Structures are given as C-alpha cells and as structure tokens.
Amino acid sequence: MKKIIYTERAPKAIGPYCQAVEINGMLFISGQVPIDPSTATIVEGGIKEQTEQVMKNIGAILEEAGYTFDDVVKSTCLLSDMNNFAAMNEIYGNYYKENSPARAAYGVVKLPLGALVEIETIAARQ
C-alpha cells in the first residue's frame, strides 16, 4: 500500500507533489531544494550551505519514515552549475562515509526558486 510521508521538519511541497512516498519497503523522496523549513526560504550562502540544507531536509524525511542515510540506495543530484560539483560532493560525502549509494549528477539550466542544487533520493529497507 502506498503511504505519503510528510514532516514539518522539511519544506512543504511547492507544487502538486509530496515530500516522499513509501511503497513495498522503498522510500522515494522528491527532489529537495535548499529551503529552510522554519522560514520557507532558500538558505543564504553558496553551494556548500545549500547542499547542507538539502541533506538536512532529506535526513528529516528519512527519519520521519523510519529510514536513515544508511538505507539510501540511489541519489540524483541536479546542479545549476557543474562548476559547483566538487563543493557539493564534499558536503554530500559527509552523509555517506561508508557504502555510498548509487548516484547520478547532472548540470541543468535552472532549478526551482533559483536554487543551486536539488537532490532526489531513494531508500530501501534492508
């Protein structure tokens, strides 16, 4: 049975989608942009600050659904500028010290709200 996941500790959806969906022991987290849920605005700073906020948002959703970063099996990273890849990767790597998930990273023309990074995540019960 499909279950919609929602937490106040991550940003509300800015369109017709939910924060995450769980089905058959898998969690599909919608692309997270660097919105601080307490202010509903993009965090100040550059790619490192924005990536940190995105990962916090993902962590809050994982926790709400009963998962951890250890359960993540796939990430897709979208960057508004591929020159930010190394800095994004540095922060992202702090959350996956061992057994990193599969990942793809793409440069895109533009992200919602002028964000520098967006990351979607898939986790699975082990």
Contact call for residues 93 and 69 (beta carbons, < 8 A): no
pLDDT per residue, tens digit, the chain (126 aa), is: 899 999 999 999 888 999 999 999 999 999 999 999 999 999 999 999 999 999 999 999 999 999 999 999 999 999 999 999 999 999 999 999 888 999 999 999 999 999 999 999 999 997
* Other Cβ atoms closer than 10 A to 28: 16
Amino acid 126: pLDDT: 78
Report residue 95 as tokens. 């959350």
Q: d(Cα 63, Cα 60) in Å, to the nearest integer? A: 5
Containing structural domain, residue 67: 3-124
Overall number of domains in the chain: 1
Output the domain CATH number for residue 8: 3.30.1330.40
Q: d(Cα 82, Cα 89) in Å, to the nearest integer? A: 11
Cα dihedral 69, 72, 74, 75 sign: negative
